[in-house]
Amino acid sequence: MIFNDKYTKQFVNKKEIEAIKPFVEVADKMLDDKSFLGSDFLGWMDLPKDYDKEEFERIKKAALKIRKESKALVVIGIGGSYLGARAAIEFMLPTYYNQTNDVEVYFVGTNMSPNYITDIYNLVKDKDFSVNVISKSGTTTEPAIAFRIFKKLLEEKYGEKEAASRIYATTDKKKGALKTLSDKKAYETFVVPDNVGGRFSVLTAVGLLPIAAAGINIDDLMNGANQARIDLSNKNFFENDAMKYAAIRNILYRKGKDIEIFVNYEPRLQFIAEWLKQLFAESEGKDLKGIFPTSASFSTDLHSIGQAIQEGKRNIFETIISVDNVINDIVIEKDEEDLDGLNFLAGKSLDYVNKMAKKGVVLAHVDGNVPNIEISIDKINEYNLGYLFYFFEKAVAISGYVNGVNPFDQPGVEAYKKNMFALLEKPGYEEETKKIFERIDNEG
């Protein structure tokens, strides 16, 4: 992985770097000491080295079983329980992989749309399929509803005993509704570690089982993450990319750049950006602070939000994630009529054109007062993906501490749930139900 900050130089000077450097170093030491805010959730830090080797082998064995007996895998989870796995699968597999891969992978429990769930239901009902339900408690509304639906379909299709052999539960080691049901029904279970928060869980069974079931090499994924762990343990600020990234982000934030756009020029990176949005928003957006993360896919979005990026409010910066070497390339051919005026590109590859577009956009946006940070990997593979996952986890942890927040909690996530449960008249919410309906009536 290469970290390039040259397009931030006119926005961040050396004196500012030197001024924030001690705070970044202290934040990094806080992680190492494991004795500060959120220290109970630092299991991800040494995970690439100290993961449960026995469970890891069971994950690979279960993945082979799924691939052997199922045409489709339904992954049920929300937030950190699915974003990492989907990011990895979308990154590693060809576009429209469900039309070409040995095992189709569908994600449900991510919303409460009856249209969406019905569409997936109809796709898998006549196929041999398995389910991986991912929930530490088993009571999170969206995945719990989806699991009810697909568990019933499995049991009707195969009978209760065979259905149980096709259900894989990733949940708490000892307690919770899903763990209780799994023990009762004899589902094979995998562990959501107590010391790894959901958005940091992609390298646990949460992410690894669906990733492996899709045919992706999880040994290489963990090796890449472990190399990042080694590299980012370097205490020399100027040789540690996670420290530098955290420092630059925080300097820009203090100058009013409070929106970070994760930009890609490769569609396979789109769900990496979705994973990043959760990782950074839940880690930093609290106590009325934090950089707001969003994403854009170029050159597509240059034709929609490009104007606002170029000349709109100057409160944004971009972090570009790119791949240096493509898997496939296309050479543009000469056309005798040249009605589209593109013969000047004849003989050039499409990847070359894409890279020139990126360079042109970066220069234009920097000239328009939008700082750009570039992060690149040499090619699409599991090793590089594992490295990226760990890099961003380490960077956001440091960045959160520098900004004076606990990067490992998410108290605001619960606010909407209280209102939703009150409106749905969930038992135990009687007083809240009364108050919220009175409020709705009073507001007309």
| Of residues 211, 209, 215, 290, the one with CA closest to residue 253 | 290
Distance CA 49, CA 46 (A): 6
Print burial letters for 390-421: b (CB count within 10 Å at least 16), e (below 16). bbbbbbbbbbbbbbebbbbbbeeeeeeeeeeb
Element (H, E) at 375: strand 372-379
Angstrom distance (rounded) from CA 294 to CA 134: 26
Long-range contacts formed by 231-240: CB under 8 A, 24+ apart? 232/390, 232/391, 232/394, 235/25, 235/28, 237/21, 237/24, 237/25, 240/28
Q: In this structure, which amino acid lies at residue 270?
A: Q
The residue from 90, 104, 188, 282 that is catalytic is 282
Is 282 labeled as catalytic in the residue annotation?
A: yes
**Which listed residue (6, 417, 434, 435) is catalytic?**
417
DSSP letters spanning 231-259: HTT---GGG-HHHHHHHHHHHHHHTT--E
Contacts 24+ apart (CB under 8 A), 50-54: 51/203, 51/204, 51/222, 52/191
Question: Are 389 and 80 in contact, with CB atoms under 8 Å apart?
Answer: no
H/E segment holding residue 73 = strand 72-76
* Sheet-wide strand order for 188-191: 104-108, 72-76, 129-134, 167-171, 188-191
The Cα 204–Cα 196 span in angstroms is 9
Residue 57 buriedness (CB in 10 A; 0-12 / 13-18 / 19+): exposed
DSSP 286: B
Q: Would you name the residues annotated as active-site residues?
A: 282, 417
